Structure 1
Amino acid sequence: MVTRIIIGISVFLLTSIINPVTTSVQAQAQEQLLPDPGVVSYSFRHQFEEDVAGTLDLIKDMGVTNIEFSSLFGKTAQELRAMLDERGLICTSYGVGYDDLVDNTAQVARDAHTLGADYVRIAWIPHESPFSIEDAKRAAEDFNRAGMALKKEGLSFAYHNHGYEFRPYEDGTLFDYLVQHTNPEYVGFEMDLLWVAHPGADPVDLLNKYPNRFILMHLKDLKKGVEGDFSGSAPHEYDVRLGTGQIDFPAVLKAAQDTNIEYFYIEDESDAVVRRVPESIEYLKSLTK
């Protein structure tokens, strides 16, 4: 046994000396817990409203190249794409409203393609509180129909949870109903971590339960001590820097590795976004397998 250990150590040291670059790359690959995250444009909504070009420069200076847009901020899709291209930035997901998804699907698809996005997502189902089974049934039908149309255009549709869907229903929740009554060929889901935790659900359990349905993720943390509800609404101060709230990020990101999630986006709704996004990026870099 001792001989085997000594031989193994010798081989490792010899390999490191012969090819130190390869060994270093392998070590870095083993440590990486998630790909470089993007950001959600909503995080910088106030900055974008003042200066679109300057905000894109700001995001690039943070080392971020991937943006999920939830608004065109007064630009056309063509104008915004040109600004992205000038800076080497990309848009991989395009967020629109429910009515546009349902009533203007073709235009949404054109804009998404112009931006270079692979995904179209919405983050709110219009309803009068409380969210009901009738709301979920209507949304499931609309999602299937719009998702099919987008699929024909080479795009993937995702619904971003917002908390109210986790109201109990039969043996599960209304979120379970949405998952189970939408066609996985046409409808995927973007997990927003805060809006899973706020109504009391467990993101790791959800990822394990529906590994093939989640295709995008919003990285967002919920303030410690907060007890949420099913309203889908919360003060912005409930959104805290990643790693300082209730979310167990190492557990979530490990579970996400066994799902269909392709892109991760930091979303920060605070007024301190310019300071906090770089801090959240550093926190994510500190996480290792």
Structure 2
Amino acid sequence: MKRIGYLLSLCLVFLVATGDLWGQSGKPLFPETPGLVSYTHRKSFEKDVAATLDTIKSLGITDMEFSNLFGASPNALRDMLDDRGIKCSSYGVSYDALVNKTDEVGLNAKILGASFVRIAWIPHEGAFTVEDAKKAAKDFNKAGKKLKKKYGVAFCYHNHGYEFVSYKDGTLFDYLMQRTNPEYVSFEMDILWTFFPGADPAELLRKYGSRFKLMHLKDLKKGVKGDFSGKTSPENDVPLGTGQINIPEVLKAAKEACVKHYYIEDESKLKSVQVPQTMAYLKGLKE
């Protein structure tokens, strides 16, 4: 009897410590259902847009970032999204399109119902330089101003790793932040491409706060070493919580920064298995 009483006491201590007593498991850290980046299912979208949207909706996902129209017109894609109760909150385009086809980009974004336009790569040869960053900042300010004033959509730049090379007392990412107008240029943090070159995603969120409006959720396979190339094997994408990034810390910092949209991105061949794993992990996180 004493042994049974001792074991029951241990169980009670465990339940109280973990917050599971009487079903009280703590407040969810990530209560909303995350969105998804279309690139995750790029090959399926290329074959059948409607069927791929059905698959995504079956997961309970209703928020998406599209970086490709996959052969459909903006109007046709919007109709397919509306039919399924899915919203395109962010529309990704190329640097060239942003700079040279700003009006077309803005109009397409409006048709899709997107609140944001983003790009994810600044063209450069070899190592990313301050001259590359200087030109990009100028282009971002100009295009961002037009997109906001004429089309009512916000511009975001999605980091890709190469921007974190050292420059003066900081990095070229800091330089981009300093040289862009907060009124017209915001940022989308890709947490893998922040961690990969050695930066701390949570620290960066705390430093720049509301400049970050969007976020790509992805984790980096354990043992993989990063660099400033902005490139790694797609198979190094792993479910959140199984890689190298401190996801709870990042999400807490993102919440404080008031990030508006979170998108799961998984470029690997295992996306059909890993995306549900990531969603389950997020659902189980407690503050």
Normalising by structure 1, report the TM-score: 0.89
Rounded to whole Å, the distance in 1 between the matches of 2:211 and 2:52 is 32
Rounded to whole Å, the distance in 2 between the matches of 1:280 and 1:242 is 5
| Pair 1:79-2:76 in alignment | yes
Partner-residue secondary structure (3-state), 2:210? coil
| Pair 1:261-2:259 in alignment | yes
2:281 to 260, 280, 283: 283
Structure 1 position 182, deviation (Å): 0.2
| Pair 1:49-2:40 in alignment | no
What does residue 184 of structure 1 align with? 182
Partner-residue secondary structure (3-state), 2:27? helix
What does residue 215 of structure 1 align with? 213
Partner-residue secondary structure (3-state), 2:157? strand
Aligned-partner residue type, residue 101 of structure 1: L
Rounded to whole Å, the distance in 2 between the matches of 1:220 and 1:129 is 26
Partner-residue secondary structure (3-state), 1:215? strand
Structure 1 runs of 4+ aligned residues shifted over 2 Å read 27-35
Rounded to whole Å, the distance in 2 between the matches of 1:131 and 1:165 is 7
Structure 1 position 110, deviation (Å): 0.5
Structure 1 position 32, deviation (Å): 4.1
| Pair 1:203-2:201 in alignment | yes
2:227 to 226, 229, 247: 229
Contact 1:66 1:90 in 2 (8 A): yes
- Matched residue count: 264
1:137 to 124, 134, 157: 134
What does residue 12 of structure 1 align with? none
Deviations 1:27-67 (A, max 9, x none): 79932435221000000001101111100000000110111
Contact 2:157 2:186 in 1 (8 A): yes
What does residue 89 of structure 2 align with? 92
Deviations 1:10-34 (A, max 9, x none): xxxxxxxxxxxxxx9xx79932435
Rounded to whole Å, the distance in 1 between the matches of 2:32 and 2:214 is 12
What does residue 66 of structure 1 align with? 63
Contact 2:28 2:283 in 1 (8 A): no
Deviations 1:194-237 (A, max 9, x none): 10011011001100110021000000101112111000111112
| Pair 1:148-2:153 in alignment | no
What does residue 30 of structure 1 align with? 27
Structure 1 position 251, deviation (Å): 0.5
Point out where structure 2 has 5 or more consecutive residues left out of the alignment.
Answer: 1-22
Structure 1 position 68, deviation (Å): 0.3
Rounded to whole Å, the distance in 2 between the matches of 1:108 and 1:230 is 29
Rounded to whole Å, the distance in 2 between the matches of 1:191 and 1:212 is 11
Deviations 1:106-160 (A, max 9, x none): 1101100100100000000000010000000000000000000011121100000
Aligned-partner residue type, residue 221 of structure 2: K
1:39 to 26, 36, 61: 36
Rounded to whole Å, the distance in 2 between the matches of 1:216 and 1:115 is 17
Rounded to whole Å, the distance in 1 between the matches of 2:265 and 2:115 is 19
RMSD over aligned CA atoms reads 1.3
Structure 1 position 91, deviation (Å): 0.4
Aligned-partner residue type, residue 192 of structure 1: D
Distance 1:28 1:61, change over 3 A: farther
Structure 1 position 287, deviation (Å): 0.5
Partner-residue secondary structure (3-state), 2:245? coil
Rounded to whole Å, the distance in 2 between the matches of 1:125 and 1:34 is 34
Structure 1 position 242, deviation (Å): 1.1
Aligned-partner residue type, residue 60 of structure 1: K
Contact 2:25 2:286 in 1 (8 A): no
Rounded to whole Å, the distance in 2 between the matches of 1:110 and 1:181 is 27
